[in-house]
Amino acid sequence: MPDSNGQPPSGPPEAGLSRRSFLRTSALLTTGLAALAASLKPLMDMNDFPTAERFMQKYYKELTPPEMEKVLKRIENDVEREYGIRPHVRDLKPMEGVQFVYCLNLTRCIGCRKCVHACVAENNQSRTPEIQYIRVLRLPHGSLDIEKAEHNYAPESVPEKGYFYMPVQCQQCQNPPCVKVCPVHATWQETDGITVIDYDWCIGCRYCEAACPYWARRFNFTKPSVPKERINPEMAYLGNRPRRQGVMEKCHFCIQRTRAGRYPACLEVCPAGARKFGNILDPNSEVSYILKNKRVFIQLKEELGTSPRFFYYFDV
């Protein structure tokens, strides 16, 4: 750059580019480029370099059915290459006339955390680092004050005297703060009430994670790792297909199961029968019965106006 401080340039004037200054400039330039290249070296062991195809992939809602077919094929190939197992990836759409609701019986929950592990296995969650959608809180008898919750309780056996247990996962709010704050529409609520994430569209800003009052969202701080033999090959695009580094994920009511007429994994595994799931628009469903007949049920942090589709109730 021109010497703007007004000092005379070193070297003989009028010479244009003298040999000395030419050598000096090129030496500087070479050193600079070499330094830049050296500083970029960590890119060599890139975890997950996006291919051009993945880089250019369109937003979920803009994919035409044939394009979606191609994308699903590509995902199947990717998974097969990486995990050595051919998965079955579907794009399951919400069913007409269905709105899902979850009810959890606090009188029955014994805090065994079987739901947590069933969820991890079903949804191909990262084992290292550990990602879990469900967090079971142990609360002292008589208080629903979450600040008194113990997360890392580890007794010989459960349930323990003087405590009750409250599993918390995505509450599938009717008025979800996470959806509102996402700058790129990468997360939205579907007509059956499930809030989903397009893992291929999320930019990883973690604003939704800050916005969620239930701490339901989990971020892939590095490339998730699932042992090959543990992969669940029955996958959905908006559900449990393997995620990539740098994107958000969370509970989606086991979309790959529930949109195909099955129960969520956490419900099936519960030994206490504390978990109930179904279509609130069907007056004969179990959840309709519970919400009509139980005297008390709780929506967590009701005062925030998020209106969860997840209800806690008691046997009264």
User: Which residues contact another protein (rule: CB under 8 A)?
Assistant: 1-2, 4-6, 8, 32, 35-36, 38-47, 50, 55, 59, 129, 135, 137, 145-149, 151, 168, 177, 180-186, 201-207, 209-215, 217-223, 245-248, 301, 304-306
Least distance from C-beta 186 to another protein, angstroms?
A: 7
Distance CA 274, CA 111 (A): 10
Give the pair of three-digit tokens for residue 168: 């918390």
Least distance from C-beta 208 to another protein, angstroms?
A: 9
Q: Which amino acid is at 196?
A: V
Distance CA 36, CA 84 (A): 38
Under 8 Å between Cβ of 311 and 104: yes
Phi and psi torsions of 73, nearest 5°: -60, -45
Least distance from C-beta 115 to another protein, angstroms?
A: 16
Least distance from C-beta 223 to another protein, angstroms?
A: 7
Query: Which residue number, 231 or 247, has a Cβ lying nearer to another protein?
Result: 247
Query: Which residue number, 11 or 273, has a Cβ lying nearer to another protein?
Result: 11
Under 8 Å between Cβ of 164 and 141: yes
Query: Which residue number, 169 or 279, has a Cβ lying nearer to another protein?
Result: 169
Query: Which residue number, 69 or 302, has a Cβ lying nearer to another protein?
Result: 302
Buried b (16+ CB within 10 A) or exposed e, 268-307: bbbebebbbbbbbeeeebebbebeeeeeeebbbeeeeebe
Least distance from C-beta 18 to another protein, angstroms?
A: 17
The CA–CA distances, whole Å, from 24 to 30, 150, 158 equal 10, 65, 74
Query: Which residue number, 249 or 278, has a Cβ lying nearer to another protein?
Result: 249
